[in-house]
A and B are shown apart, each in its own frame.
Chain A
């Protein structure tokens, strides 16, 4: 049962092959039995899950047609869930219980989806390996000596280990697509503004966007259909008509033009990753797509610009964690300054502190123009690169990350090496474009991710292009060895 995709499970529920309670119990049992190997969940919510499953079964019996009704999913612990702890992977919020649901959590509730629990993540979504979580690192189901990627490593590992058929995630610089690549999943980061950020704990507000991790593009379409909505509680949400992303999955690729940015195949890219991506290009050509080489000339500036803008925003976003109203408070503060200093020193981990310091520095008097303003200028250039490219091509294709999953500790001492993990994914966040990663091969029995970047609000096109690849290949059906 756990090897089935969401689309298959939805059929099974409707054909009464299984009930939502049975299905939910099955995944809860798997989590209880197996998650000690992966550490993908921070909080499991069996009582809530079973209550929601019972309600879903009633809805199904009454003829509910929502495809996600009764489907168990996991939420990244960055999304606020009413009455259930939302830690954001931090000691700071170890005891925090929000009195509200994130809009996307609410959307899934309304659709009848069942919440299994909250998944592990890099602290405040800052990391590319899931090694910065207060709750310990998450292990990659394909190779438990390796990282699952980050920051949505818990959601990725949970889906790859078949502990949940799908999970929510968030992506600020690659935090959905890179774990999708490293864990052999389909991960989509929608256009900035397509999905509400209300109730998603902010890392870098102008870059953060929620998305999904699933085992197929079809499942991603089903998940995104529910997640996407216009929300007047988020001023940056765009009032764009909703579409059924499953409707265009089977469109033909004949006549599609795929742009291959030369800058995405430069040094630093693992040769076997490059080979797998090149093979994917051939597959697309065989499906009737045209490919052409393009240039995104400011690609090399994406990581430096990102590591000014994201820390600058995070330095302000994380100021609210001050030990005054909620979250971690140090013992017996002797005065206000002591309260601030110790609560924040104790509550935040090293990577979070590093980024707060970098961001504070970049915004400080005398440096603002040289760093923050300059980075914003670069951001506009990067966006313009894409705008120009999309005049000639329908989608852009390249690798998701430079290499497959790496071993624990191999990059923790060198922050810059870790930051370069997101070298191919960061630019889409800076430009606000949708991006998606699908598996396109294995290197040393570890998955390789293929990245597709679409134009604004072209999620339907991206999922169509991904789905057609998955009809022609079986990389997405390969399961992590330990799960079988």
Chain B
């Protein structure tokens, strides 16, 4: 039997507005508990919400980026339930008339194929506070700093068929929101959180299986692992003759397993109804078109442009455009050096390797894109070889300055002076008579391979600084004279 996993994602994204969605309190991350909660966030009696225009603008930007219909009339509703970190006893959210309607986005898969993932809708809502269960001697603390932070909940159709596809979609959403600048997208800080609806069915079956919702997964890696392990769990149950109970589950990263949340929390009747404190928000075409005109270039458009403008492969372009900072870094390096292919390689291989190894973000990189371009120019103009360039790059990563000053300070300048090179070549020929003899007596087809030995000796003697091209020329000439 061949099984198919069916996945839909609900992604919560904190919008990077300066103030909260219904109050003037700051949304900055990391302040002392309850210092960023005003009377409205605390749901003091008599307080009233006022919707934040910036949150609407951000939501419309997202909707346009997803090719979605924009809800010209959107309505906030109250979702009623009691929890200590939900001060009003209801969450203000959207249900029947959300700000963003159906849309679609394409994801690039590892095999080079594409898949369209449809957006069911996206709606604006307020975040809850946080319950803190440690450090209070058996009691619970509540931090309401996060209460009222604007969220956009992005609900996909069940269009993904593997954990890898789900991650690719999640990354796509991440790249769109960061391109738009509407969220910092930091999963580790909770700026982007993901619920995954997972079900399995036999391949070819039309009907969807019973799904389980895995709540609050907070990294790309865990999304992949949680979906995999949940699908395996469901397949095992069905193969053993059991049935999947529709329920909410939590992913335990330490044990790499999902487990059921208390069923009581699932059986809530939220009693949604339109919030009478907030009037329906009406957006006109002018408002939407003004936003459309100010949208930055989005990942798909940038990818296509990188392919055509810089002659990159579609895969390389996809890697470079995953996030805006990387794309901008590459593009600056490519333009300044006028060597887009070299720039792409340096960014994707060496720079990515360094950032990964040192656990550094590109924003904190010790050198600029212009400085990387400076290094590429020095390779291209023959000042240093590709091999020496790796040493210079290391120096740049250590914060030693730009390529020229490192080349100067370390004396890495390539030797191209014919006199000096001739001396090196003569020495090597004189010191290796047997190899010279072999070379001379070999036929033409074997000679190029044998040449490598001499080049290696010469480079070694020059500590890598000899210009390989010039060495080749002189060497050939000298050997032919033998």
B80 touches A205 (CB 8 A): no
Given the known A-B contacts A320-B89, A325-B87, are A80 and B45 also in contact in the complex, defined by CB atoms under 8 Å? yes
Given the known A-B contacts A319-B82, A319-B89, A322-B82, are A236 and B45 also in contact in the complex, defined by CB atoms under 8 Å? no
B142 touches A324 (CB 8 A): yes
Mask of B271-288 contacts with A, CB within 8 angstroms, 1/0: 111001111000000000
Measured CA separation A88–B44 after assembly (Å): 13
A235 touches B279 (CB 8 A): yes
Contacts of A340 in B (CB 8 A): 82
A197 CB, min distance to chain B CBs, angstroms: 6
Mask of A178-212 contacts with B, CB within 8 angstroms, 1/0: 00000000000000000001111110111000000
Is B78 part of the contact surface with A, judged by Cβ < 8 Å?
Answer: yes
Contacts of A321 in B (CB 8 A): 45
Contacts of B269 in A (CB 8 A): 364-365
A99 touches B39 (CB 8 A): yes
Closest B residue by C-beta to A339: B84
Contacts of B50 in A (CB 8 A): 232-235
Contacts of A318 in B (CB 8 A): 89
Is A316 part of the contact surface with B, judged by Cβ < 8 Å?
Answer: yes
Is B20 part of the contact surface with A, judged by Cβ < 8 Å?
Answer: no
Is A265 part of the contact surface with B, judged by Cβ < 8 Å?
Answer: no
A91 CB, min distance to chain B CBs, angstroms: 14
Is A368 part of the contact surface with B, judged by Cβ < 8 Å?
Answer: yes
- Chain B: interface residue total (CB-CB under 8 A): 28
Is B48 part of the contact surface with A, judged by Cβ < 8 Å?
Answer: yes
A235 touches B39 (CB 8 A): no
Measured CA separation A232–B80 after assembly (Å): 26
A325 touches B42 (CB 8 A): yes
Measured CA separation A99–B48 after assembly (Å): 15
Closest B residue by C-beta to A206: B276
Is B362 part of the contact surface with A, judged by Cβ < 8 Å?
Answer: no
Contacts of A198 in B (CB 8 A): 46-48
Closest B residue by C-beta to A90: B45
Closest B residue by C-beta to A359: B271
Partner among B45, B46, B51, B88 whose Cβ is within 8 Å of the Cβ of A235: B51
Given the known A-B contacts A316-B78, A316-B80, are A322 and B46 also in contact in the complex, defined by CB atoms under 8 Å? no
Partner among A206, A322, A336, A363 whose Cβ is within 8 Å of the Cβ of B271: A363
Contacts of A324 in B (CB 8 A): 84, 87, 142
Is B451 part of the contact surface with A, judged by Cβ < 8 Å?
Answer: no
A360 touches B46 (CB 8 A): no
A368 touches B273 (CB 8 A): yes
Q: Is the interface of B mostly helix, strand, loop or mixed?
A: loop
Measured CA separation A336–B86 after assembly (Å): 13
Measured CA separation A200–B88 after assembly (Å): 16
A239 CB, min distance to chain B CBs, angstroms: 12
Is B49 part of the contact surface with A, judged by Cβ < 8 Å?
Answer: yes
Contacts of A234 in B (CB 8 A): 48, 50
B136 CB, min distance to chain A CBs, angstroms: 14
Closest B residue by C-beta to A193: B279
Is B43 part of the contact surface with A, judged by Cβ < 8 Å?
Answer: yes
Mask of A448-474 contacts with B, CB within 8 angstroms, 1/0: 000000000000000000000000000
Partner among A93, A320, A326, A372 whose Cβ is within 8 Å of the Cβ of B273: A372
- Residue picked from B46, B47, B90, B278, most chain A C-beta under 10 Å: B46
A339 CB, min distance to chain B CBs, angstroms: 9
Partner among A236, A313, A326, A368 whose Cβ is within 8 Å of the Cβ of B44: A326
Partner among B45, B271, B278 whose Cβ is within 8 Å of the Cβ of A98: B45
A99 touches B44 (CB 8 A): yes
A205 touches B45 (CB 8 A): no
Is A312 part of the contact surface with B, judged by Cβ < 8 Å?
Answer: yes
Measured CA separation A184–B269 after assembly (Å): 46
Measured CA separation A204–B273 after assembly (Å): 13
A320 touches B80 (CB 8 A): no
Measured CA separation A71–B271 after assembly (Å): 46
Partner among A102, A313, A319 whose Cβ is within 8 Å of the Cβ of B276: A313
B78 touches A235 (CB 8 A): no
B220 CB, min distance to chain A CBs, angstroms: 34
Contacts of B82 in A (CB 8 A): 319, 322, 340
Closest A residue by C-beta to B281: A235
B142 touches A235 (CB 8 A): no
Is A130 part of the contact surface with B, judged by Cβ < 8 Å?
Answer: no
B277 touches A320 (CB 8 A): no
- Residue picked from B47, B80, B90, B279, most chain A C-beta under 10 Å: B47
Contacts of B80 in A (CB 8 A): 315-316, 319, 363
Contacts of A80 in B (CB 8 A): 44-46
Closest B residue by C-beta to A196: B48
Mask of B37-69 contacts with A, CB within 8 angstroms, 1/0: 001001111111111000000000000000000
Measured CA separation A322–B49 after assembly (Å): 19
Contacts of B51 in A (CB 8 A): 235
B43 touches A88 (CB 8 A): no
B46 touches A102 (CB 8 A): yes
Contacts of B277 in A (CB 8 A): 202, 205, 235-236
B45 touches A86 (CB 8 A): yes
Closest A residue by C-beta to B44: A98
Contacts of B87 in A (CB 8 A): 320, 324-325
A316 touches B46 (CB 8 A): no
Closest A residue by C-beta to B43: A320
Contacts of A200 in B (CB 8 A): 46
A75 CB, min distance to chain B CBs, angstroms: 12
Interfacial residues of chain A within 318-375, with CB under 8 A of chain B in the complex: 318-322, 324-326, 336, 340, 360, 363-365, 368, 372
Interfacial residues of chain A within 280-330, with CB under 8 A of chain B in the complex: 312-313, 315-316, 318-322, 324-326
Closest B residue by C-beta to A101: B46
Closest B residue by C-beta to A96: B45
Contacts of A336 in B (CB 8 A): 84
Given the known A-B contacts A233-B50, A236-B279, are A316 and B45 also in contact in the complex, defined by CB atoms under 8 Å? no
A361 CB, min distance to chain B CBs, angstroms: 9
A255 CB, min distance to chain B CBs, angstroms: 36
Contacts of B46 in A (CB 8 A): 79-80, 86, 98, 100, 102, 197-202
Contacts of B88 in A (CB 8 A): 316, 319-320
B427 CB, min distance to chain A CBs, angstroms: 85
Partner among A100, A206, A312, A316 whose Cβ is within 8 Å of the Cβ of B90: A316
Contacts of B39 in A (CB 8 A): 99-100
Closest B residue by C-beta to A100: B39
Contacts of B142 in A (CB 8 A): 324
Closest B residue by C-beta to A320: B43
Measured CA separation A301–B222 after assembly (Å): 56
B319 CB, min distance to chain A CBs, angstroms: 46
A205 touches B271 (CB 8 A): no
Contacts of A313 in B (CB 8 A): 276
Closest A residue by C-beta to B81: A319
Contacts of A79 in B (CB 8 A): 46
Measured CA separation A463–B314 after assembly (Å): 74
Q: What 9 new A-B contacts, CB under 8 Å, besides A99-B44, A321-B45, A322-B89?
A: A98-B45, A100-B46, A198-B48, A199-B47, A202-B277, A206-B276, A234-B50, A235-B279, A312-B273
A contacts, CB < 8 Å to B = 79-80, 86, 88, 93, 96, 98-100, 102, 197-202, 204-206, 232-236, 312-313, 315-316, 318-322, 324-326, 336, 340, 360, 363-365, 368, 372
Q: Jot down 29 A-B pairs with beta carbons below 8 A, ordered by A.
A: A79-B46, A80-B44, A86-B45, A98-B44, A99-B39, A102-B46, A198-B47, A201-B46, A202-B45, A202-B46, A202-B277, A204-B276, A206-B276, A235-B48, A235-B279, A236-B276, A312-B273, A316-B78, A316-B88, A316-B90, A319-B82, A320-B87, A322-B84, A324-B142, A325-B43, A363-B272, A364-B271, A365-B271, A368-B271
B contacts, CB < 8 Å to A = 39, 42-51, 78, 80, 82, 84, 87-90, 142, 269, 271-273, 276-279
Please name the 3 residue pairs, one residue from A and one from B, whose CB atoms are nearest each other, closest first.
Answer: A319-B89, A206-B276, A363-B271
